[in-house]
Every structure is written in C-alpha cells, then in structure tokens.
Structure 1
Amino acid sequence: MRIHVVQSGETLWQIAQNYGTAISQIVLLNELENPDLLVVGQTLVIPEPGSEYVIQPGDTLWQIAQMFGVSVQELAAANNIADPSLIYAGQLLQNPYFTHTVSAGEYIWLIAQWYGVSPEQIIAANNIEPPGLIFPGQQLRIPAPVKPLTEVNGYITRVDAQGVPEVMRLGKYLTYLSPFMYSITEDGSLTTLPEQPVLEAARANNIAPLLVVTNFTQNEFNSDLAASVLRSTEAQEQLINDLLEIMRAKGYAGVNFDFEYVYPEDRENYNQFLRLVVARLRPEGFLVSTALAPKETADQVGLLYEAHDYAAHGEIVDFVVLMTYEWGWAGGEPWAIAPINKVRDVLDYAVTVIPRDKILMGVPLYGRDWEIPWVEGTFASTVSPKEAVQLAAANGVSIQYNETYQSPFFRYSDESGQEHEVWFEDARSMQAKYDTVKEYGLRGVSYWALGTPFPQNWPVLQDNFTIRKY
C-alpha cells in the first residue's frame, strides 16, 4: 500500500497509471463518491498491484484466492477474516505470499535474507525436497514478512442494530469492542444498555467486548457521582456485583473504567477500588482496564488529571487507554485534534511509570470545523475525515499539512462569508501515529470512535500491523 498526496493538475487516471493499478481499486478503497473531483493536498491510499486487492462488488473470497494462487483458508487467515463467506466491497486484502524468480547464483538462504524470512519458511511454502536445491527461472512463493502484532480497541456509541454493519465491516481490524456506555448511579448500581446487537457482531468477528463503566450523566462527567461510589464500601460492592452479573450474562471479556473529572482527594480511593475490582474479576479471567487523561507529568494540575495515578494504574490493571486526543476540542481554539508532538509528550512521561505493553494510545477518527476568528463560548462542529475532504472540494480550497502536528487542515469561507478552519486526520497523520506506536513499543491503539467515515485509516492500519485476536 502506498500513500499518495494529490498534486495540482493530477487526475485519478494519471495516478492509477503511475502506480500500475486500476481506477476502480483506488475509488473503492478511498470511497471516492466523485472520482473526477480531487483536492490538492488530499491523500489517497493506493493498493500494491499483485500483492494487494480491493474487494469489488460481487467478488467471493474463493475467486480472489484463485487470483492470488492461494487457498481460501490461507487468504482468510492472512487477513483476519473469521467467516470466508462474509467479505465487504472496498476492503483491502493482502496476499500471504509473493513471487520471486530465481536468478543464476542465488540460493535459498540468500533469498531468505533479502526478504526477511527464514529458509525453512521458503522451503515449506514451496514444498522443496532436501537438500533444498533451486534453479534459475524457478518461481518461488515467498511468505509475506511478519508485521508487528498489535491490539486495537474501538469505542462505539451506536450499540443497537444501527451499529452492527460497522462492526461487521471493520471486525477484522479489532481486538476489542467497547460499547459506550454503562453509567454508575449513586448507590453503585449500573444503568442499562441495549448493546446486544453489537455484541453478537463482535462474537462473529472474534472480537473481545469490553464493558465501559463511566461517571457520565446528564451529558457530562459528574465528579460528585464518582465520589459517591469511590467513598462508599457498600456502593463499590454493589457496582462490582452488578458488573459481574452483566459480564457473565452478556459474554463480556473485560471492563474498561472511564472515570473522568474525579476529585483529587479521591485519587487513592480510585486506586483502591481498582484493586478490589481486579481481585474479584481476574480469578474469573476478566480483563480490567482504565481510560486515562493525557498527562505530561505526574503532578499535572487540573480536575481532569490529578486523580489519574498513572503509576498505580500501570501496576494494578491489565492495560490502560491513554486518551491522547482533544487538544483541538470543540469549545477551544482551532488546533489539531491529536498533534503528534503533544501525543509524544504524554508518552514520554507515561512509559516511565506504565509498562509499554500495557499502553493503548488513543487515536481520533474525527475532525472539527471551527468558525474563525474564534470567539470564546462558541463550539466547533464535528466532521469525519471523509466529510472534511468533501468540504474542501465543495469550497475549492487546497488541503495543507502541518509537519509539527502531523495533521492536515484547511480554511474556507461559507456561503454567508463566514470563515472556517478545519483540522482532521488523513492517511499521513495516521501513519505518523502508527510509527509512534512502533517506536515506543506500545500494546496498541484505541479509537474514539467507530461510526465516523474514515476509509483510509483501515488499509494504513493493516499495512503496519497484524491485529491480535482472542
């Protein structure tokens, strides 16, 4: 897979010719509604001819396997497909092998070194008999290099039947699915959630569901609500009992606590509560995780940060989600949602107190549109990355890219003459984030939130990692 940035005067036909691929492959992979309308600065993900294929309407996995010269089982396994009869137009499939034509003087060990695989893998893939002789002109199947194994969590807010198509279509990319949300009440009991449809879709795709528990009520995170539970032994007992009952009944694999704006004086209460939860849930095989505000220092001041004890969470729970987004928040000035320099500042601190293999880095799947000049008290509207590009196209403006923040942005004027500034994500910004995950050796990523059209993210993710499944 390649990432191409559209230049002035380019057409999709020219781009397809330059990469040796079909226009239809690019159109489907990028969900281009009008292939004749490209935006300068727009990114396109381009499949590699021969080794990658974008599923077309009417395709079957058997047909694609025949084209690649592999079995259906090999192709399904290489692409995390749980049910070979369920594939979706626009998904990228990768061939588990590619072809090497032997030249004079070559031998298996040397070829294996070139491609980063073992001689034994090449011998097994080609059914070569001992002593492993090959000859010039022979075509060898070379196993695709192994990509880093990672875990991927996706929060989802559409938890009824409306959310099912999204989970089915993106299921192969997810380790965990986190339906948002169950809220606590003052006595520790939990509210209800009609999430059974997305849980069934998760099971069909070998995704481990996580039950999300929050102190969210009446459209905001409530500090007093968190305090009422964290300061009461009886309420905590009620919460843990309710939690276990729901998890057992609905088939959850674990829990994710997203307690925000907790009073600083409840910091140790929160830590001790997590210890109680782990003591009750871990013997039954349940995972325990938390969502943490993006802190850059241990003593960072602010209601959002002070009760989130990175070191304690890193020691107590199985993993944490660092909410490394919302620098460009709806009620603030225009800015990148997850500027990579700020994300790295958080990670630089986090890895000193939390084991790297316990950190999921938060990643936004959305952008924002601000009216400018920004006025305090006004709020930006949320846009998907796909909608952002359509906005730029509709207003005839080019997309720019901030190298410091590793984020695309643009400005436009609406029909009334009001100026706007839009920050969002594209294939380049996501590649920067995945490079960061690999550089820091993290457990994986966590998306906020599924349901936002961002077709380019998924092939970029797939190009970088093998997704762990449970």
Structure 2
Amino acid sequence: MLKKGIIFVFIVTIMTLLSVLGLLYFKPYEHQNIASDYVQNRVNIVIEDIALKSDYSIIDNDKIYIPVEIIKKYLNSDIVLDKADNRLYLEIRNPVFKLETEKLDNMIRDGIKLNFLTVNIDDKQYLNIRGLEKIFDIDVNYIKETNTLIIDRIKKTIKLGEIKSNAYLRPKKSSFSFVMDKLHTGDKVVVFEECGKWYKVRTQKGYIGYVLNKVIDVKTEEVDINRKINNVRRNVKVNGKINLVWDYVYKYSKDLSKENKIEGLNVISPTWFSINSNGYIINNGDFDYVNQAHKKGYKVWALIDNQFNRDLTRQFLKSKQMQENLIKQLAVYSSIYDLDGINIDFENVYYEDKDKLTEFVRRLTDTLKQQNIIISMDMTVPSTNPNWSKFYDRKKLGKILDYCIVMTYDEHWATSPKSGSVASIRWVMKGIENSLKYIPKEKLIMGLPFYTRQWEEYKDSRGKIKVKSKVLTMKDVERIIKENNLEVIWLEDVGQYYTEYFKEGKKYRIWIEDDKSIELKAKLIYRYNLAGIASWRKGFEKESIWAVLNNIVEANNKDISLSIVKFNGLN
C-alpha cells in the first residue's frame, strides 16, 4: 500500500509540474515561420470554436487578410477564385445583409453577384475581409494581447459563461491534461457545448479549451443583430466650388494614408468599376481607400466606365438583365465602400444607342438616389462626331444628373493627324459655351488636363509629314526642357507656353500645361459661374498645381470674376 501511495504522489507531482510548465510555456496557436513582407503582421485565426493552427491571417493597418481557402472551407463554399486575375467571385442567392432602404433590399432579394480583389502572399490567395463582414455574415474581432483574430458567424442567440471561482482551461476533457490558461472569478467565456462534466469554451483571449462545468454559470442571451451595411448618406454635397481629381487605378488602389492631404481638393474619383459581358461589374474597390479619403476630408465618387467599347456597350444597353445586374451591384458596392458618389464615364457609344443610354442613366440614378449619393457623368465637348459626342443627350442628362463633367481637353487627341494643344484657352471656352446650351451652369463641371502630349513630326518616303504623340506628365516636360536646354515662349492666343526641338532628323513640339495655363483655364469657372473643376489625372501634376487650384476654388467669386471679364484679349 505504501508503495502504491508513493507512486500516486509521484504521478500527481509530475502532472502538476507539467501543468505549471504548460501554463508557463504553452503557446496555443504557434505558427510556422514564413518568408513574406507581411511576416511581422501574421495573426492567429480562430473561427468560433476552431483554432486554425497551421493557417494565419495578416493585419496591415486597417486591412485584415484571410486566406481564401479558409473562407471557402468555413464561411462560404460558393466562392470561385480566379488565381490568374487575383479575383474572388461570389454569387449570393439569398442575401441576408441589408442595404439602406427596404426598397433596395427587395431589389437584391432574388440574388446578387459580387467580386472582390484578392492578393497573392507567399503563393497563397488572401481576401481583405474589412468592410465585407456583413456580406459574409460574420463578426470579426482582433485580440491584441494574444495576436488572435476571432471570426464568429452571426447568430440570434449565444451562450455565455461566467467563471464562479478560479479554474484552469485545458485542451482535453481531463484534469490530467496540461493547463492552457488560468481563469479567474468573474471572467467571461463563450460556451459552445457541454461534454459530461466539462464545457467547451472560448476565453476572451481567444483560447479554446475545456472547463469543469461546476465552476461556470451559463446563460443564453439574445443577440441584437444588425445586418445593415450602411445608412442613407448625409452631407454628401460639397460646399462651394467642386475641386475633383480622377485617381487612375489599374487594379490595386494606392495607400492614401501615406500621402499628405491636398489642400483645396474636396472630391477624389478612383477608377474602380467597369462593365463586363459576364454579368459582373469588374470591381477594384478598396474599403480602406475610402476610409483614408474621408479622414482627409475628401468625398469619394467612384468611377464606372464602359471600357470605351461601343460593341460591349451596345450589348449591355440591349439587355435589361445586364443593366439590372449592374445597378444592383453598384448599389451594394456603394454601401460596402461608403461611397459619396458615382461618376459615369461612358465613351465611344453608337449614336443609335443614345436613347437607351439616357434611359439607363435615369434608372441608375433613380436607384442610387435612395442612398442619397451624388451621380455625375463625363461628357465630351459638343461636336458633330456621332459616336464620340452626339450620343450624349445633354439636355435630358442635364436634368437627370447632379453634375455633368465636360472633358474640355483632348482638343488634339492621341491619334490626331495634326500636332497641337491638348486644351487651348479659346477651344476650352467654346466647349463650355456650347455645353451651356444644354446643361445648367450650376451642374456643369469643367475638365482640366494635368497632362500634355509630345508630338513627333517626320517625313515619310513620299515627303509627307507624319505625326505621332505620347502623353507627358508635367514633370516629364520639365525634364525634357532641362535635358535639351530648351527655350519656351508664351502663346497668348493659346494660353500656354510652347517649345520645340529637333533630334535625329525629327521635330518635337510641346504645348505645355503648367501653373499658368491651368490657372488661366480654372478661372473660367467664375467667368461662366460653373459648379467647379475636375482634373485628369492624379499623379500627372506638379505639386505647385494644388496651390493654384486651391487659391481659385477658395477665392471670393465676385473678386475673381471681375478680374477675368477681359484677359489676354478674350471677351
């Protein structure tokens, strides 16, 4: 008997020692090292009562990246991943999330198609889940203390427990298993199931294990579920003149948190959406981009284009189903990304589709106005070209839309047979005046170019002068002038500086856009009392341009308008 007692004491001592060692050294969700720029941001994943010990999420500022394979396995098995395009497709047949109004909810009741960009990290596809929680019907909570991301499916009820007296959390239903963590009186836990004399629980640190049921009080609580993504917008209008810049996004948006606020800029328009023939809008939206833009005081009017493809546009305008899909998707994306506006950029459309386009814009505007967001549309200056200009029914569109943005640039376009300015002052004025015949001045926004073109002129084999061009940013022009030691002259009637040079038997000509030419054009918003200016595109400008535009949009209307009644001989 004595020998058995000694053995029992020895076993208890060893188990206690192991428990203490476990408490001191055990790390519940240890990860393997990975070679990645994000290695320092890797985070443990817990999905309800499952600790994913071999997988991790990545938190980068306000972005939470989850492996797509984990989303498909645990959250939504219907997703389709296009690895080549870094894109996740999701068709939701019975959406449980809510939009801003009941009418919008009814619109998507029969289903919605959505897609989101993924990123490739260490040859694995990840989705930024931030902003998409209600799309996937989940709650997400990051526990900094244990570097753990907890994901819970949204439920009507939840079992909660309160620890009655100090206890141990163990990985198995046995008092002989080692101790994962020590729980104290009053600690709260989530309870998942009862297993004999044990409860399976998750602690506030995100640890999952078992606690004796005698040390815990359990109760079921009703959860106040809010599946509404967003609310009807407030304060979406810009006070004073609009100063918009288009931000060209090929696929992934820039990190605005790393940029200084641009004084005077009040609207930014990322080029995020395009129509497609597969029933999905191509979506390059970014929740964090909008969040950062709003912190800087910018409104966000996301742009949707028609890929400037007239045949695709004709197919789209013929199909009520395609249009309905687009309108539903834009309504959902506007909610997800908390957009203040949508900017429609449909160019190169068959003249015969003019009425269909106008009707589509009306339907889209009627729907998105339920969210109280601003709708604008880009238009060329009026001309006789049927498929580039005449397909815009400016008079009707001017009544439907909040704003019409007239692209008063590309006077001489990329494939122009003749060299010339992108936006000479007289041509810009004529474009505005002709547009005002159809569009109310308080709805007209004037487009400005932050770019110019370098024209290369040469003679072909027959001695005929041929022309080709390439786009230059303002910094490109400064570099060319410096490298070639060029002189510039001011062209009074054009409202721009000009330079030219010869190289290898070819003549190069540049009509320059700079502070002076942009200021001259921008002041026209007071001459014609327009709603504001819109500039193509962010990144093409010199930094000094923003001070020029800020001085104009913030100027006293009366003072500046009086100063330009006559300028450069223009009446």
Q: TM-score if structure 1 supplies the norm length?
A: 0.62
Match of 1:385 in 2: 474
SS of the residue corresponding to residue 543 of structure 2 reads coil
**Structure 1: how far apart are the matches of 2:282 and 2:366?**
23
Match of 1:318 in 2: 402
**Structure 1: how far apart are the matches of 2:253 and 2:300?**
17
1:190 aligns with 2:281: yes
In structure 2, relative to structure 1, the CA distance for the partners of 1:453 and 1:346 (3 Å cut) is: closer
Show CA shifts across 1:32-61 (max 9, x none): xxxxxxxxxxxxxxxxxxxxxxxxxxxxxx
Match of 2:434 in 1: 349
- 349, 353, 363: which one pairs with 2:448? 363
Cα contact 1:385–1:425 (8 A) shared by 2: yes
State the one-letter code of the partner of 2:472: V
Show CA shifts across 1:269-324 (max 9, x none): 1111111112111122111111111115xxx2331012111111111000011111
State the one-letter code of the partner of 2:330: L
**Structure 1: how far apart are the matches of 2:243 and 2:279?**
29
Give the CA deviation at 1:162.
6.8
State the one-letter code of the partner of 1:259: F
Match of 2:5 in 1: none
**Structure 1: how far apart are the matches of 2:304 and 2:258?**
20
- Aligned pairs for 1:375-454 (under 5 A) are 379-414=468-503, 416-454=504-542
**Structure 2: how far apart are the matches of 1:378 and 1:199?**
41
Match of 2:247 in 1: 156
Structure richer in strand, relative to its length: 2
- Aligned pairs for 1:96-111 (under 5 A) are none
Give the CA deviation at 1:202.
1.1
State the one-letter code of the partner of 2:349: V
Match of 2:187 in 1: none
- 265, 269, 280: which one pairs with 2:352? 265
In structure 2, relative to structure 1, the CA distance for the partners of 1:294 and 1:419 (3 Å cut) is: same
Give the CA deviation at 1:454.
1.6
**Structure 1: how far apart are the matches of 2:534 and 2:489?**
26
- Aligned pairs for 1:21-420 (under 5 A) are 149-158=240-249, 163-164=254-255, 168-186=259-277, 188-216=279-307, 221-296=308-383, 300-332=384-416, 333-373=418-458, 379-414=468-503, 416-420=504-508
In structure 2, relative to structure 1, the CA distance for the partners of 1:167 and 1:436 (3 Å cut) is: farther
**Structure 1: how far apart are the matches of 2:243 and 2:261?**
11
Cα contact 1:187–1:238 (8 A) shared by 2: no
Give the CA deviation at 1:161.
7.0
Match of 1:15 in 2: none
Cα contact 1:160–1:196 (8 A) shared by 2: no
Cα contact 1:159–1:197 (8 A) shared by 2: no
SS of the residue corresponding to residue 372 of structure 1 reads strand
**Structure 2: how far apart are the matches of 1:322 and 1:167?**
31
SS of the residue corresponding to residue 252 of structure 1 reads coil
SS of the residue corresponding to residue 153 of structure 1 reads strand
In structure 2, relative to structure 1, the CA distance for the partners of 1:162 and 1:307 (3 Å cut) is: closer
- Report the aligned-residue RMSD: 2.4
SS of the residue corresponding to residue 265 of structure 1 reads helix
Give the CA deviation at 1:236.
1.1
Match of 1:142 in 2: none
Q: Which moved more, 1:205-214 or 1:154-163?
A: 154-163
Cα contact 1:367–1:383 (8 A) shared by 2: yes
State the one-letter code of the partner of 2:293: A
Cα contact 2:452–2:474 (8 A) shared by 1: yes
Cα contact 1:171–1:207 (8 A) shared by 2: no
Give the CA deviation at 1:336.
1.0
State the one-letter code of the partner of 1:413: F
Cα contact 2:302–2:339 (8 A) shared by 1: yes
State the one-letter code of the partner of 2:442: D
Which stretches of structure 1, 4 residues or more, deviate above 6 A after TM superposition? Answer: 159-162, 374-377
In structure 2, relative to structure 1, the CA distance for the partners of 1:301 and 1:382 (3 Å cut) is: closer
State the one-letter code of the partner of 1:386: K
In structure 2, relative to structure 1, the CA distance for the partners of 1:243 and 1:374 (3 Å cut) is: farther
SS of the residue corresponding to residue 353 of structure 1 reads coil
Unaligned segments of structure 1, at least 5 residues:
1-147
Cα contact 1:320–1:360 (8 A) shared by 2: yes
**Structure 2: how far apart are the matches of 1:411 and 1:206?**
41
State the one-letter code of the partner of 2:513: E
Cα contact 1:166–1:451 (8 A) shared by 2: no
- 450, 459, 462: which one pairs with 2:547? 459
Match of 2:38 in 1: none
Q: Tell me: higher relative CO, structure 1 or 2? Use CA pairs within 8 A at least 6 residues apart.
A: 1
Unaligned segments of structure 2, at least 5 residues:
1-238, 556-571
Cα contact 1:163–1:451 (8 A) shared by 2: no
Cα contact 2:419–2:467 (8 A) shared by 1: no
Q: Report the number of matched residues.
A: 313
SS of the residue corresponding to residue 280 of structure 2 reads coil
**Structure 2: how far apart are the matches of 1:450 and 1:465?**
17
Structure richer in helix, relative to its length: 1
**Structure 2: how far apart are the matches of 1:167 and 1:257?**
28
Give the CA deviation at 1:455.
2.4
In structure 2, relative to structure 1, the CA distance for the partners of 1:210 and 1:229 (3 Å cut) is: same
Match of 1:65 in 2: none
**Structure 2: how far apart are the matches of 1:206 and 1:404?**
38
Show CA shifts across 1:311-363 (max 9, x none): 11111000011111011222222211111111111111111221111111010
Show CA shifts across 1:158-188 (max 9, x none): 4777733598335333221111131101255
SS of the residue corresponding to residue 189 of structure 1 reads coil
SS of the residue corresponding to residue 149 of structure 1 reads coil
**Structure 2: how far apart are the matches of 1:404 and 1:369?**
20
Give the CA deviation at 1:435.
1.8
**Structure 2: how far apart are the matches of 1:277 and 1:326?**
28
Cα contact 1:179–1:195 (8 A) shared by 2: no
Cα contact 2:249–2:272 (8 A) shared by 1: no
Cα contact 1:154–1:446 (8 A) shared by 2: yes
Match of 1:48 in 2: none
**Structure 2: how far apart are the matches of 1:242 and 1:153?**
24
**Structure 1: how far apart are the matches of 2:459 and 2:550?**
37
Cα contact 2:256–2:293 (8 A) shared by 1: no
State the one-letter code of the partner of 1:391: I
